[in-house]
Amino acid sequence: MRLFPFCDRPRLWGVAVSHYQVEGNDPCDWTDWEASGRTKGEPCGEAVESWARYEGDAALARQAGSNAFRFSVSWSRVEPRRGEFDLAALERYRRFVEELVRLGLEPAVTLFHYTHPRWFHAETPWTSPRSVDVFKRFASRVAEALAPHARLWTILNEPLVFILGGFLDGQIPPGISRGDEAGSALVNLLTAHREAAWAIRERQPSAAIGVAHNMMGFRPERAGWFLDRWISARARDLYNMGLIEAFTTGRWSFTLPPLTRFRGRVEGLENTLDVLGINYYSRLHLQCPGRERLLSDFRYRDVSGRGLTDNGWEIAPEELPSILSDAAQSGKPLVVTENGIADSQDKFRDAFLRDHFAAISSASIGRARVHGYFHWSLLDNYEWLDGFGPKFGLFSVDRMTMERHPRPSVETFRSLGEAFVSAEPAPA
Ligand code: BGC
């Protein structure tokens, strides 16, 4: 099976970035969040100036052996005031997409990667159906500008992470902690996905529409302890499988123990996905009841002795085959839309890449068919609540001069990419 009916590339091998994390100078809801002191370290500011340097970044991706480039469109740049579109910003993205095509990089466009225009939460919040109309209008404008060249679309990046962080945990904008609001925001977000999918298909009938779904490994802290096993299974149902159920059936019903129940239906959602994107980074070990949290504690642990990443995450490639086989239950072609490691010294990245590549290859022998891989990230970038601390880049960035420097593991990325792209196409 090929991702696009007319695509000459059996497999995609690329890098991923997101607008706010690299472009710089993009006032939006997240900028206000930083100003209110809710993030660590320096505010995003100029980020790594990709808005002015995108063409150079694309050239780096090409040099590193990519044949695809995942990026996102900033809603706040494109529609800084409600209903007023910045044509120059749309044109800037169009030129970038043309450059990607010229370089032989398949553009993979994301429409929502966490941030919103400043007017959004006050005027058309996700808890209101008005959010669907404005998102659809934004998606249509972007599709008009980019669809002729862009065939692979990720409408939402990590919708569940956004709902959990923004509407239950209150850690990211809009900073709400209410189960009922989380439920209605999820309905509207998924409805917005459906509307955007239709709008894109109208303009690009052979588009492949996807979502980037964050999936994690969940393990009982004590394998012999029933409650630890129980909470790990519930975490997998909720976090990994809930959204897959929504996209395959149009309905969902999952419980956030002990009391929050997400239940909903979006008519037609099940016909809107051509590709399932998976963002995979790590796994958590769960203990129930928790000592720090009432129901359960969860933490990263260095089980294999590989060491923890700079931001304390476990390196767990062995979890990836079962994640991919869970994802394969959707019946959709799979693309790894993000996978990467915070490793400023590049101590672990080489092994990380090789081990995850081996995991993808072994999963592909079974039911899961992986048609693409995007490494997070091309560049060191702005890491949301952690500021510029964690370094995820294949290329480091000197933020004084904004120069980009390859880390040694770029070579590993390139050679694995050659093997991946030239392998036999994954059969349907
Ligand atoms: C997000 C990225 C983020 C990465 C590493 C992913 O879940 O989509 O924006 O940079 O995790 O923290």
pLDDT for 308 equals: 97
Task: Enumerate residues 6+ apart whose C-beta is below 8 A from 140.
Answer: 196, 199, 203
Tell me the per-residue pLDDT of 81-96, one tens digit each, with 9 for 90 and over: 999 999 999 999 999 9
Which protein residue has the closest C-alpha to ligand 1 atom 3? 383
* C-alpha distance from residue 95 to each of 12, 83, 89, 263 (Å): 21, 23, 10, 42
Give the DSSP letter of residue 9: -
Q: What confidence score (pLDDT) does residue 74 get?
A: 99
Number of the ligand 1 atom closest to the C-alpha atom of 340: 5
For the segment 127-131, the average pLDDT, to the nearest whole number, is 98
Percent of the chain with pLDDT over 70: 97
* Alpha carbon separation from 395 to 282, 291, 313, 346, 380 (Å, rounded): 21, 40, 20, 10, 7
Average pLDDT of the segment spanning 326-355: 97
Ligand 1: does its nearest atom lie under 6 Å from the Cβ of 74? no
Question: Does residue 214 line the site of ligand 1, with CB under 6 A?
Answer: yes
Cβ atoms 393, 378 nearer than 8 A: yes
Residue 428 has pLDDT above 60, yes or no: no
Residue 427 pLDDT > 60: no
Q: Whose CA is nearest to atom 5 of ligand 1?
A: 383
Ramachandran quadrant class, 351 (left: phi over 0; alpha: psi -120 to 50; beta: rest): alpha
Q: Is the CB of 18 under 6 A from ligand 1?
A: yes
Atom of ligand 1 nearest to the CA of 114: 9
Mutate to test the pocket of ligand 1, among 211, 338, 339, 349 (most ligand atoms within 8 A of CB): 338
CA of 111 to the centre of ligand 1 (A): 15
Residue 4 confidence (pLDDT) above 70? no
Does the Cβ of 380 fall within 6 Å of ligand 1? no
> Is ligand 1 within 6 A of the CB of residue 157?
yes
- Closest atom of ligand 1 relative to the 161 alpha carbon: 7
Residue 166 CA to ligand 1 center (angstroms) comes to 15
Residue 270 DSSP class: G
Residue nearest to atom 12 of ligand 1 (CA): 383
**Mean pLDDT, residues 373-380:** 98
Asked if residue 309 has its Cβ within 6 Å of ligand 1, the reply is no
pLDDT band at 256 (very low <50, low <70, confident <90, very high): confident
CA 53-54-55 angle, to 5 degrees, is: 95
pLDDT at position 15: 98
383 lines ligand 1 (CB under 6 A): yes
Number of neighbouring beta carbons within 10 Å of residue 97: 24
Tens of pLDDT, residue by residue over 277-315, are 999 999 999 999 998 887 889 999 999 999 999 999 999
The string of pLDDT tens digits covering residues 227-237 is: 999 999 999 99
Q: What is the mean pLDDT of residues 155-179?
A: 97
Predicted model pTM: 0.97
Confidence of residue 425 (pLDDT cuts 50, 70, 90): low
**For residue 39, how far is its CA from the centre of ligand 1 (angstroms)?**
15
Closest ligand 1 atom, residue 381 Cα: 10
56 C-alpha vs ligand 1 centroid, how far in Å? 22
CA of 339 to the centre of ligand 1 (A): 9
Ligand 1 pocket test, pick from 337, 376, 386 with the greatest ligand atom count within 8 Å of Cβ, gives 376
Please state the atom number of ligand 1 nearest to the C-alpha of residue 386: 12
Beta partners for 211? Answer: 276
Q: Is the pLDDT of residue 2 over 70?
A: no
